[in-house]
Amino acid sequence: MAKITFITPDNESVTLEATSGSVMELAVQNGVKGIDGDCGGVCSCATCHVHVAEKDFPLVGEPSEIEADMLELEDEVSEFSRLCCQIKVSDAIDGITLKVVEE
């Protein structure tokens, strides 16, 4: 089981647990503010843009080429940006912290 902490745009900390699926699905199912997942997780909208805590970035790795292309269209992109629909829940990301990017 992975514990994932979201920091919402209004600085609320929300920690959730899951065993499978995508991080975006977990956030949407639990009403995390700022994560909409409008495209349903097919990497075509960027409504699940997060900044991965620097210490946690090695756990998720670099975005794919398609994801990087979507991120190029976003305003608040950083070197730690990811679309959380592309991050799979697993024990490997247990304890990760994600800052939800304000739209």
Q: Give the chain's largest Cα–Cα span.
A: 33
pLDDT band, residue 25 (cuts 50/70/90):
very high
Phi-psi region of 11 (alpha: psi -120 to 50; beta: other; left: phi over 0): left
12-30 average pLDDT score:
98
Whether the Cβ atoms of residue 37 and residue 24 lie closer than 8 Å to each other: yes
Would you list the domain boundaries of the chain?
2-100
Residue 75: what are its φ and ψ, rounded to 5°? -80, -40
Q: What is the pLDDT of residue 71?
A: 97
Q: What is the pLDDT of residue 83?
A: 98
Q: Which CATH architecture has domain 2-100?
A: Roll (3.10)
Give one DSSP letter per residue of 46-102, joined into a string: -TTEEEE-GGGHHHH-PPPHHHHHHHTT-SS--TTEEEGGGSB--GGGTTEEEEEPP
> What does the DSSP 8-state code read for residue 18?
E
pTM: 0.95
